[in-house]
Structure 1
Amino acid sequence: MDGADSANASEQGVAIVSEAICEEIIGRPEAFTAVENVFAAMARDNAYNFPVVREAIGHADALYGFKSGFDRAGMVLGVKSGGYWPGNVDKNLTNHQSTVILFDPDTGQLKALVGGNYLTAVRTAAASAVSIAHLARKDAKVLGMVGAGHQSTFQLRAAVEQRDFEKVIAWNPHPEYLPRLAAVCEELGLPFEAVDREQLGAEADVIITITSAFEPLLMKDWIKPGTHIACMGTDTAGKQEVDPQLLAAASVFTDEVAQSVSIGEAQHAIASGLISDSDITSVGEVINGTHPGRRNEQEITLFDGTGVGLQDLAVASAAAELAQQKGLAKQISL
């Protein structure tokens, strides 16, 4: 880069992309493509997540941390800073709060600040949708939802686009939140039924768990052959949504093996000696065609969606690029 190019780079400033703009320009198709591409890049060793920092801050019962990485294939470098404030629901705020900071991989200069709350929800939903697209049976008809919190509606909307579901069934530890899922189903023209967990396991062809549980909510013996399960809530040491025996009985896939065994759903099965690291496959291998994915109609497949920083960077980069193309990003100079 010569002196003129360096000056031009400095004059470009920083793009600010608000939550509202993110919601306007990033929909489910854009999020799905970004997440699928970055999972594929990870499996080719073209994208790397850096170690996660996630700690209780000793105030407001909050968990706060950083997820970062570099996608060499997409030339995206950055960090997501944020966490989980459980008391926000009483303040009419989203419990998950975050901002994505993007840097120029060639210079290290600050490139963009992107609101991360909506993108966190849509990229998490995209991850489970990618797993359904590549691992669920083609004839799956019943979608089971375990959890009815803020992210559950994003999960539901993304999931129903992957298969021709005929019915949605759901369970939540706080049943008063189930109407939010029922409302989405009514809008989509899908029958909805609140059921107990055992019935959900017996009926559902695809199950999404999206809770903040620290104990198993689904037991192995409840799950019928051929089910695909996307465990999307476990992203911290100690969290748990399903019976460890279920992972031992399933073919396990994940976004990143290192996170799956340390802070993901697999941590408990690993600690119990029921499975090992080598029993877990990156879903990117399925996307790239280097792993067959589901081998037969009776196989139980399980996706351990731990939530990697590269997902956030991928959708934030897409948002920043689209916002600048559309003239919607605010540009500032530092």
Structure 2
Amino acid sequence: MLIVPEREIATLMTRAAAFDAVEQVFAAMAAGDAYNFPVVREAIGHEDALYGFKGGFDRAGLTLGLKAGGYWPDNLEKRGLINHQSTVFLFDPDTGQVRAMVGGNLLTALRTAAASSVSIKHLARPDARVIGMVGAGHQATFQLRAALEQRDFDKVIGWNLHPEMLPNIEAVATEAGLPFEAVELDGMAEADVIVTITSSFAATLMADHVGAGCHVACMGTDTKGKQEVEAALLARATVFTDEVAQSVSIGEAQHAVADGLIAQSDVHQLGAVINGTHAGRISDDEITLFDGTGVGLQDLAVAAAVVDLAVEQGIAIKVDF
């Protein structure tokens, strides 16, 4: 078995490699060559933690495995550890033997950012110039760095429930040489692309906050009850997602479907756009929305890529198991 420790991930995994891995696995999902297993997520009744498993099998990439982990809300304050903790396990699909154990914390951040970045590449207008960020926490910095690589943006605008956190994303804009402006939510109407990355259980971004032709990447809703955007926005938009079943059950689409504003058939796989079996954006005035719920195959794809890199560079630790 190979081990790639968390401490090695930052030197191995680039945003470009994460982007390629996620784009390829989305395409495989839409082609029917890869599928996710049912998600297990439970409150364990200890330390207020949520713990669970996401897994799947990619026939095209011959990647089989799972990510185990969750959210420990008191980690940072009590122990100086990040609150999200995860580990990815890969198995040989021919034999079932364990192939690798990979630190999953940074990989989760990179694959989440890669997913919204893939959506921007395939759905945002080519002439998009202003990017808006709703949310300014740790993950927002990953999202913004990845997004800025997909278009020639000339301005970043941002909103956060706690404005004192906005310097997090302002710093990313500054390092990219772009001006940053803090705005109220109605100021998001200026944006050509909006990325939402919050943990909200009530809609923050409303339909009238979004201008014609905008692409919205909703990246924070991954649990029943969570909601970042008004359901009416999905009714105005052409909606895409990583996995339709998750979108309508634990993603942003859960609310629009429950309210009868859209049907499950109105939610499309982003992978179909990548494969060319869905046209994607068809006009400059169309609002497109990507509901990034986060699927196990994303984790497996980036973990498999990092294992290959670790072997090439002699960093992987080999143990008998």
- Superposed pair shares fold, TM > 0.5: yes
Shift of 1:178: 1.1
Shift of 1:95: 2.0
1:278 and 1:247 map into 2 onto residues whose CA distance is: 13
Question: Which of 281, 284, 294 is 2:271 aligned to?
Answer: 284
Q: Give the structure 1 partner of residue 150 of structure 2.
A: 162
Q: Give the structure 2 partner of residue 64 of structure 1.
A: 51
2:191 and 2:47 map into 1 onto residues whose CA distance is: 37
Q: Does 1:261 align with 2:248?
A: yes
Report the residue type matching 1:100 in the other structure. V
Judge which range, 260-269 or 170-179, deviates more: 170-179
Unmatched segments (≥5 aa) in structure 1: 1-13
Q: Give the structure 2 partner of residue 141 of structure 1.
A: 129
Q: Give the structure 2 partner of residue 46 of structure 1.
A: 33
Shift of 1:94: 1.9
Q: Larger C-alpha radius of gyration, 1 or 2?
A: 1
Q: Give the structure 1 partner of residue 239 of structure 2.
A: 252
Shift of 1:174: 1.4
2:228 and 2:76 map into 1 onto residues whose CA distance is: 22
Shift of 1:57: 1.7
Check conservation: 1:94, 1:150, Cα contact below 8 A: no
Aligned ranges 1:1-334 → 2 under 5 Å: 14-90=1-77, 91-200=79-188, 202-334=189-321
Shift of 1:285: 0.3
Give the SS at the match of 1:97: strand
Task: Name the count of aligned residue pairs.
Answer: 320
2:166 and 2:20 map into 1 onto residues whose CA distance is: 29
Unmatched segments (≥5 aa) in structure 2: none
Among all aligned residue pairs of Structure 1 and Structure 2, give the percentage whose two residues are the same amino acid.
68
1:275 and 1:88 map into 2 onto residues whose CA distance is: 39
Check conservation: 2:120, 2:215, Cα contact below 8 A: yes
Report the residue type matching 2:81 in the other structure. L
Judge which range, 158-167 or 56-65, deviates more: 56-65
2:88 and 2:100 map into 1 onto residues whose CA distance is: 8
Q: 1:88 to 1:172 in 2, by over 3 A?
A: farther
Check conservation: 1:129, 1:162, Cα contact below 8 A: yes
CA RMSD of aligned residues (A): 0.9
1:169 and 1:87 map into 2 onto residues whose CA distance is: 31
